[in-house]
């Protein structure tokens, strides 16, 4: 994790803990439960799953104390997800089943769909850690949960946004494809993988056109998962190129560089010389942006003339990369000195 991001997350956790302390002093357990959830979510982003589990368990106990059935159900899901990451699958499944039971009792289709999808994913993860016979049984259970979850997706049109429904279906198609692949049913696996890839590709292109690069990145990451499962190197390279452009639109130059380096490696390994040449030219430009950005950060406030020159260079380079939001920012900085 980049040092800046790590520090920002640490500051976020400290601020949330301070707010939680105030909620405790006021004996506001509803607010405390929300803050425990928020703290757990940040720890999950950091990959600190044991700490996340502690706060989500506290959230669960507080939600039970308030007798809020929906929040209690969702807290069971969060605890289950943490336990899955820690590979305690039996306990994870127990919490997810409670979540599913409560969602059904509440008649909440959105949470029932999510519970079934979570259950299917957990069974699938567990199947990778057991013997052949038990793995086969777990894949059957995972498949049943996924298919039930897909059925509910059809009933959620108008309840969830189209984008949310696409994301739900994408993950379910991907997981179902993996289940069929592990079971040796290659034809069914291919069918589900193709559906997942179609959703990911269409979703990412649409979101880029709508100038929503952050959401597009989520779709691209899903598309990469499908490419990896299908062992489709040429599609993987295409997705990495598109991801690099989304990262450029977000001014994430290091991440854009990383995507392009991977695309170049894949193209070289598969003798795609024309694609490699284009990618290498773009990569060279992105490297210049990274270099000049670091150079500018190192300059003191008294060296305004040099900063102006670098801002102009950076703006021009970003224009050539079609990273116009970043270009505008650099040009605005140039005239501010």
Alpha carbon separation from 272 to 242, 267, 275 (Å, rounded): 17, 5, 6
Residue 124's nearest CA partner among 151, 152, 104, 149 is: 149
CA 309, 310, 313: angle at the middle one, nearest 5?
90
Report whether 246 contacts 217 (CB < 8 A): yes
Token readout for 283 is: 């990569």
Q: Which residues of the chain have pLDDT under 70?
A: 1-6, 158-163, 200-210, 226-235, 272-274, 337
Please tell me the predicted confidence (pLDDT) of residue 206.
Answer: 59
Q: Which two tokens stand for residue 285?
A: 């430009």
- Please choose, from the candidates 80, 159, 160, the residue with its C-alpha nearest in 3D space to the C-alpha of residue 117: 80
d(CA 121, CA 90): 13
Is the pTM higher than 0.85? no
Kindly report, residue by residue over 202-249, the tens digit of the pLDDT. 666 656 666 777 777 777 777 777 666 556 666 678 778 888 988 998
Do 73 and 102 form a contact (C-beta atoms < 8 A)?
yes
Neighbours of 21 (CB within 10 A): 12
* Bridge partners, 160 (sequence order): 157
* pLDDT on residue 240: 87
What pLDDT digit, counting tens, does each position of 79-107 carry? 999 999 999 999 999 999 999 999 999 99
CB 261 within 8 A of CB 235: no
**Which among 89, 91, 94, 114 is positioned nearest to 104, based on CA atoms?**
114
Start-to-end Cα distance in the chain? 32
Please give the pLDDT value at position 269.
80
CB-based contacts of 65: which residues, under 8 Å, 6+ apart?
29
């Amino acid at each position: 994790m980049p040092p800046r991001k790590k520090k920002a997350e640490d500051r976020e956790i400290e601020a949330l803990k301070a707010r939680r302390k105030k909620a405790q002093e006021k004996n506001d357990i509803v607010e405390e439960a929300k803050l425990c959830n928020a703290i757990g979510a940040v720890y999950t982003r950091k990959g600190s799953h044991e700490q996340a589990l502690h706060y989500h368990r506290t959230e669960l106990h507080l939600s039970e104390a308030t007798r809020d059935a929906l929040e209690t159900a969702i807290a069971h899901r969060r605890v289950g997800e943490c336990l899955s990451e820690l590979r305690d699958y039996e306990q994870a499944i127990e919490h997810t089943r409670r979540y599913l039971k409560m969602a059904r009792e509440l008649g909440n289709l959105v949470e029932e769909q999510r519970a079934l999808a979570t259950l299917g994913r957990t069974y699938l993860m567990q199947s990778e850690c057991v013997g052949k016979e038990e793995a086969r049984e777990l894949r059957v259970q995972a498949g049943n949960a996924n298919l039930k979850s897909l059925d509910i997706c059809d009933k959620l049109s108008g309840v969830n946004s189209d984008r949310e429904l696409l994301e739900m279906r994408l993950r379910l198609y991907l997981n179902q494809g993996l289940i069929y692949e592990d079971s040796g049913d290659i034809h069914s696996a291919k069918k589900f993988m193709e559906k997942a890839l179609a959703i990911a590709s269409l979703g990412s292109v649409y979101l880029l056109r709508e100038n929503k690069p952050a959401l597009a990145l989520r779709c691209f990451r899903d598309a990469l998962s499908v490419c990896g499962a299908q062992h489709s190197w040429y599609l993987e390279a295409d997705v990495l190129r598109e991801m690099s452009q989304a990262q450029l639109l977000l001014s994430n130059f290091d991440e854009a560089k990383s995507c392009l380096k991977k695309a170049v490696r894949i193209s070289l390994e598969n003798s795609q010389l024309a694609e490699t040449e284009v990618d290498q030219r773009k990569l060279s430009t992105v490297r210049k942006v990274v270099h000049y950005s670091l150079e500018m950060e190192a300059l003191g406030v008294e060296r305004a003339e040099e900063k102006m020159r670098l801002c102009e260079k950076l703006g021009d380079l970003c224009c050539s990369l079609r990273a116009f939001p970043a270009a505008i920012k650099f040009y605005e900085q140039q005239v501010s000195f």
